[in-house]
Amino acid sequence: MLALGVFLMSGIARSDQAFYVSTQGNDAWSGQLAAPNAGKTDGPLATIVGARNAVRRMKVKQGGLQEPVTVQLRGGVYYVPETITFAPEDSGTKECPISYTAYPGEKPELVGGKRITGLKPAGNGTMWVYLPEVQKGKWHFRQLFVNGERQVRARCPNVDPSDPYQKGFFYADCDPTGFGVVVGNIHNVGDWMEYDIDVPADGEYTVWVFYGHKMLDYKVADMGGHTALTVDGGDPIPLMNLPDTGGWGEFKWSNSASVKLTQGKHVLRWQNLKGGGLGLEAFVLCDDPGWKPVSTDLPQAAAGKRLLVIQAENFARFNGRQLSTSGTGHGSKTEFNYAPGTFKPSWATRPDAEVHIFQSGDCRAFKEIIAIAGVDEKTRKVKLKGKECLSFLRAGDRYFVDNLFDEMDSPGEWYLDTNTSVLHYRPVEGFSEKSEVVAPILGRLIHFAGDASKSQSVSHIRLSGLTLRNTDYSPDDGCAGYGMGHEGVVHLANANHCAITNCTFSNVGRHAVCAHGGGDHSITGNDISNSAQGGVMLLSSARNTVSDNHIHHCGAIYKHHGGVVIQGEGADDNIVAHNDVHDVSRYGISIKNGGLRNVIEYNRVRNTNLETYDTGGIEVTQHDKELRSGSTIRYNIVGDSVGYSSQGEKPVFLSWGIYLDSFAGGYDVNHNVVYRNNNGGIMLQGGKDNKVTNNIFVDGAVGQGHISNFSQNSTGQLMERNIFAWSNAAAILFATGTPTQAVIRVDNNVYWCGEGVAPRVGWGAKDTFADWQTLGFDTHSVVADPLFVDAENDDYSLKHGSPAFQLGIEPIDTSNIGLLRQRCECRVTRERFRFSPTSEG
């Protein structure tokens, strides 16, 4: 791999056949000269397509390739009018590869759009220009770039540049009717929800709770007394008689308390006093002592008696780092309620307006972009349409509406009127007639078009030193819902032995590189930033090396993406190494039902999952319960995986540093340094034969690890010779399902939460460390200071005399982690969310 990089950066070898491309060139010329001759009768070619065709002619003339071919692009900006396609006939060979590379010391830029000039003042602080191609139906763009920055399609509310992730949103309002929505993940001591209620009359009210839980798996047969109600800040009223219902989805009514209430408005607070989980659907307050519910079809109270129904999800305020809502209830995939003074009914008459909503019905994992079908002003419901109406929408889901001419009120906002073919723009400060305004026309800039049906691939073509920018995305890119996309700016379809090296991708609409099928590619040394989707996608592609790439600020439009993603059957034997991934909407690195024997190593992954929830910095999802991947995650630094979402204006967080989700099995996780992730450091969901050894996990916000045994599927796992250290005394060591020695062996670890603080295990910290040891776990582990060199500055190397050494824990050399060529100058800070292990959820 390093030899390849040297080859590509060293210029043209003397034996290479050379062609040149220049903005001053002409595709009718030979391309044999680096600059036009004095008579302007010969010189470089004008386009890559012209160079490709010249190479084709040469191959025909010579009867094939006799020597390597290098096409050098002179510096300058090349506006590419149509996708550059390489067919099987354009392939090189192992001995004679074909390279398209930057001329030494120069910067060629390939732009996937048109430069727009002639913007005129409109007299109201905005500008406009007529674009005839739009009227002809030949041009429709979803992004606009000015001086290298993505501009904002006119929206409401406006982007808040001080905090674009947490501010600048409306929130779906409550639907006051109906059962079927569950509030869950409220298992922590101190979690609470408040309800503003209006009591119709003085009286003694029975409190009925509609709930479900399976805490018997955690040795809690009855959650009675674990939670309570308060009225207007008064003394807690314990909720009793809440036995295990037999399942998290099995709900029952319980007469749990009695409370005296006076007529009028009150604040009712539910709170978790002792820890432990349950799902809540509703509370009913009734002053009829004979009233008793048996289902969600509630009987009427006796004459003169009152019935007050409180849906659990309709809280006004809450505290809970992992609080979530789920279920369909009377919710809908195609409508949501809006609060007074937010959504404007007139927006429903704008044919191109779109709602961007961060749904909570599917783990808060993705954003939907949906057209407006109508609005019911009486019920305050927005009706939606389109193929991205996939998840049930809930009260508190954050959203904004864009593509609204009337809302173009902030510098940098723009609107394309497809009826009049006019682009409207409110300029940013410093804008002038010299500013570069680019609207994209392409999604793919370069396509390696192999033909799998004919077993014909594109092979041995190399791109190096090129800048590719200003491309678009499409709703058809495969990003709806949990889709992670299937398109790339450089798209390698059924190609083999190709290389994308030392290129810069900026302000692009799709993955910078997507390899679909084929394999044996080298994707190395690239800088990828400000993608509307992800960074690098390996889709059923094998034996690829993705190394030394700086990938950051991706997921600008679609959110369910990663810096590097390995996906699909046949995605085997890939190496993802020495990458620096940070500031992305979701995963740093992800394997989605990928293949076998993949290696994730020596990567630095930071500030991930900035806009999504239930996630991980390095994450694996596997649906096959029995598959053992044989893959390895080793020598990575994973820090500040945020897992951000919101319930109304209040943030909620759920993420792990390393997340083996669903039934991911057969993974060897070793020698990683994982710190300051929220929920915790490591999640083992339901897989088999995973090994977690010789890692350092620091400052999980809620728990340091989660051993789920999801669907009672886990067997043969190992967690030994690790260090777990945390500074939040309220955080637990492990959240556990039903662990046994057959599920997992845990031993020879070092645990530390400060002097005098003993580790606790289980939801609600219900078990002591001694309880845990009586189950046969950690019988040789120690609770002791691991002696980090400089934890304040994230140096978790070990001082001489660390107790870890006595347990066989090896030092982790982090000097080789991250980029091979250190070139990241980004200001990466953990303060963006003011996140700390003790911050309130």
Spatial strand order in the sheet of 413-417: 120-121, 127-130, 422-425, 413-417, 152-153
138 CB-contact burial (10 Å; exposed 0-12 / middle 13-18 / buried 19+)? exposed
pLDDT at site 329: 55
- Count of the separate structural domains present in the chain: 4
> What average pLDDT does the structure give for the chain?
93
Return the amino acid letter for 299. P
pLDDT range class, residue 323, cuts 50, 70, 90: confident
Q: What percent of the chain has pLDDT over 70?
A: 95
pLDDT, position 325: 80
Closest Cα partner for 629 from 689, 681, 544? 689
Residue 364 has pLDDT above 50, yes or no: yes
pLDDT computed for residue 321 by the predictor: 77
CA terminus-to-terminus distance, the chain: 45
Closest CA to 836 of 616, 653, 582: 653
Q: Which of 269, 299, 326 is the last residue of a domain?
A: 326
Q: Is residue 122 part of a domain?
A: yes
Starting at the edge strand that comes first in sequence, how are the strands of the sheet with 145-146 ordered?
Answer: 113-115, 437-440, 145-146, 149-150
pLDDT band at 711 (very low <50, low <70, confident <90, very high): confident
322 lies in the same domain as 399? no
Mean pLDDT over 636-659 rounds to 94
Task: Render pLDDT for 49-105 as a digit per residue (tens, 0 to 9).
Answer: 999 999 999 999 999 999 999 999 999 999 999 999 999 999 999 999 999 999 999
Domain that holds residue 226: 182-326
Are the C-beta atoms of residues 565 and 533 closer than 8 Å to each other?
no
Confidence of residue 327 (pLDDT cuts 50, 70, 90): low
pLDDT higher than threshold 60 for residue 252: yes
734 beta partners: 705, 761
Domain-located, residue 299: yes
Residue 270 included in any domain: yes
**pLDDT category of residue 4 using cuts at 50, 70 and 90:** very low
**For the stretch 282-312, what's the b/e string if a residue is b when 16 or more beta carbons lie within 10 angstroms of its beta carbon?**
bbbbbbbeebebeeeebeebeeebbbbbbbb
Q: What's the mean pLDDT in 631-648?
A: 96
So what's the pLDDT on residue 176? 64
- Residue 57 in any domain: the answer is yes
How many helices and strands (H and E) does the chain possess? 4, 75
Write out the H or E segment, with its range, that includes residue 310.
Answer: strand 307-311
Same domain? For 198 and 92 the reply is no
Average pLDDT of 779-801? 97
- Residue 285 and residue 190 share a domain: yes
Nearest to 360 by CA among 313, 296, 426, 416: 313
Q: Tell me: pLDDT of 641 over 70.
A: yes
CA torsion sign for 9, 15, 19, 22 is: positive
pLDDT band at 825 (very low <50, low <70, confident <90, very high): confident
Match 């065709």 to its residue by tokens.
Answer: 53
**Helix-strand-coil split of the chain, %, nearest 5:** 10, 40, 50
Give the 3-state secondary structure of 465-507: CCEEECCCCCCCCCCCCCCCCCCEEEEEECEECCEEECCEEEC
316 and 246 in a common domain: yes
State the burial class of residue 799 (Cβ atoms within 10 Å of its Cβ: 0-12, 13-18, 19+): exposed
- Residue pair 566/559 in contact by the 8 Å Cβ criterion: no
Asked whether the beta carbons of 275 and 766 are under 8 A apart, the reply is: yes
pLDDT single digits (tens) 271-284:
999 988 999 999 99
Residue 643 and residue 614 in contact, taking contact as beta carbons nearer than 8 Å: yes
pLDDT on residue 11: 44
Tell me, what's the pLDDT at 839?
Answer: 30
d(CA 389, CA 372): 11
Task: Look at strands 145-146 and 650-653 and give their pairing.
Answer: unpaired
The three-state secondary structure class of 615 is strand
Residue 128 forms beta bridges with which residues? 120, 424
Domain identity same for 279 and 362: no
How confident is the model at residue 823, as a pLDDT? 78
Do 539 and 16 contact (CB within 8 A), yes or no? no
Q: Reply yes or no on whether the pLDDT at 33 is more than 70.
A: yes
Q: Token digits for 277? A: 């989980």
Contact 605, 588 (CB under 8 A): yes
- Establish whether the linkage from the previous residue to 157 is cis, with ω within 30° of 0: yes
Instruction: Lowest mean pLDDT of 54-63, 75-84, 330-339, 793-802, name the range.
Output: 330-339
**Span 38-59, mean pLDDT?**
98
Pairwise CA distance, residues 560 & 243, whole Å: 38
Phi, psi of 693 (to 5 degrees): -140, 145
Judged by DSSP in three states, 633 sits in: strand
What are the phi and psi torsion angles at 388 (to 5°)? -95, 10
Q: What is the pLDDT of residue 136?
A: 84
Strand partners, 178: none
Give the CATH number for residue 269: 2.60.120.260
Eight-class DSSP state of 96: S
499 band by pLDDT with thresholds 50, 70 and 90: very high
Whether pLDDT at 840 is above 50: no
Query: Are residues 279 and 201 both part of a single domain?
Result: yes
Rounded distance, CA 14 to CA 768, Å?
72
* R_g over Cα of the chain: 30
Kindly state whether residue 568 falls inside one of the protein's structural domains: no
Q: Which residue has the tokens 């998290």?
A: 248
Tokens of 701: 């916000």
3-state secondary structure of 805: helix
Which CA distances in Å does 648 have to 314, 337, 353, 494, 503?
A: 11, 13, 23, 45, 41
Do 59 and 80 fall into the same domain?
A: yes
* Tokens matching residue 73: 């692009």
Strand pairing report for 527-529 and 550-554 = parallel
Classify strands 149-150 and 145-146 as parallel, antiparallel or unpaired. Answer: antiparallel
If phi > 0 it is left, if psi is from -120 to 50 it is alpha, else beta; for residue 86 that is beta
Q: Are 126 and 154 spatial neighbours (Cβ–Cβ below 8 Å)?
A: no
Tokens of residue 430, six digits? 């410093």
Mark whether 252 and 306 lie in a shared domain.
yes
Tokens 């070092």 sit on residue: 750
> Can you spell out the DSSP letters for 716-737?
SEEEES-EEE-S-TTSEEEEES
Which residue shows structure tokens 């704008």? 350
Task: Say yes or no: 305 and 396 in one domain.
Answer: no
In a domain? residue 476? no
pLDDT at 436: 98
85 shares a domain with 46: yes
Do 12 and 86 share a domain, yes or no?
Answer: yes
CB 580 within 8 A of CB 551: yes
Question: Which residue in 595, 501, 604, 488 sits closest to 536, CA to CA?
Answer: 488
In a domain? residue 249: yes
Comparing CA positions, the residue from 726, 758, 633, 757 lying closest to residue 684 is: 633
Task: Judge whether 224 lies within some domain.
Answer: yes
597: amino acid identity, one letter: R
Lowest-pLDDT range, 42-46, 490-494, 739-743? Answer: 739-743
C-alpha–C-alpha distance, residues 56 and 61, integer Å: 9
* Residue-level pLDDT at 123: 86
Segment 449-465 mean pLDDT: 95
Last residue of a domain, one of 274, 300, 326: 326
Q: Does 38 share its domain with 19? A: yes
pLDDT value of position 672: 99
pLDDT at 331 over 80: no
* Cα separation, 363 vs 611, whole angstroms: 12
Mean pLDDT of 725-743: 91
